[in-house]
Amino acid sequence: MNSFRIAKFKRLDSTNKYMKENLDKLSVFDVVTADVQINGYGRMQRNWFDNTDNLSFSLFLELPLNERNGILTQITALAVMDVISKYTKNASIKWPNDCLVNEKKIAGILIENIIQGNVVKMIIGVGVNINNRQFDSSIEDKATSLFLETGTTVDKDVILKEILTTFKGYFNQFIENDLTFMERIRSRSSVIGKFVTLFEGNTVYVKDIDSMGRLIVWEDGKEYSYVGSEISLTKNYK
């Protein structure tokens, strides 16, 4: 844990936004948390519902520009999923950036890359539903929390530390080019071996996730890698 420098705020617009606005002051492994985000956001500029029951944080990294960095979303999801799995069963990773429990979303990840020459300043935003007892009616059938799954409240700081420590272990492997975590990413994926509908609307079969974090899919007898931002599990396919 020692390498992380954690700044805690009671309220922020968004921890990702805070980091983007303070980019020049950040060091690698800086972490910003907010007890409440007023304007937390996810991919596609969607709102991220947030209150004191959620864990919301951003982690800052700086890396050489490289397409293998694409695996960091999966590594983050794996770290979150590992921690959630300590508390409840049936946690999985839904490519590219969600963690599910019993097929409902419990956590979301939003990575924002700021490219400066050959360097990427990477902001890894993570939101985990921890002690939420209910959700807005617009998402209640799709969202869950650790409390709803276990019936017990959990200290958000404990979860944060567990996620950061777990992430660090996988990140060190990534730096050393040790890809043993890929097996775990694959085995805990909720999409490998399933038919999914891509954001663009076509239905494909997911064969694998590669070491750059891309989906390897089959469509009409052809195999290709997919880097899009969103997929949904296709109904009526096994």
Chain residues that interact with ligand BTN, rule: CB under 6 A:
14-16, 37, 40-43, 46, 48, 56-58, 97, 108-110, 125-127
Within 22-151, where are the H helices? Answer: 72-87, 146-150
CB of 66 or CB of 229, closer to ligand BTN: 229
- Smallest Cα–Cα separation from 184: which of 80, 104, 105, 88? 80
Could you give the angle at which helices 156-175 and 72-87 cross, rounded to 10 degrees? 140
Query: For residue 208, what are the β-bridge partners?
Result: 216
* 93 vs 126, beta carbon nearer ligand BTN: 126
CB of 132 to ligand BTN, least distance (A): 13
The residue among 208 and 233 lying less far from ligand BTN, judged by its C-beta, is 233
User: Residue 139 CB: number of other CB atoms within 10 A?
Assistant: 12
Closer by beta carbon to ligand BTN, 108 or else 213: 108
DSSP state of 214: P
What lies within 8 Å, CB to CB, of 200 at 6+ separation is 228
What are the two backbone dihedrals, phi and then psi, of residue 25, each rounded to the nearest 5 degrees? -95, -5
Instruction: For the CB of residue 14, give the shortest distance to ligand BTN in the complex, in Å.
Output: 3
Q: Return left, alpha or beta for 158; rule: phi > 0 is left, psi -120 to 50 is alpha, else beta.
A: alpha
Between 43 and 184, CB nearer to ligand BTN: 43
The CB-of-177 to ligand BTN minimum distance in angstroms stands at 28
Nearest approach in angstroms of CB 213 to ligand BTN is: 15
Beta pairing partners, 222: 219
> Least distance to ligand BTN from the beta carbon of 176, Å?
28
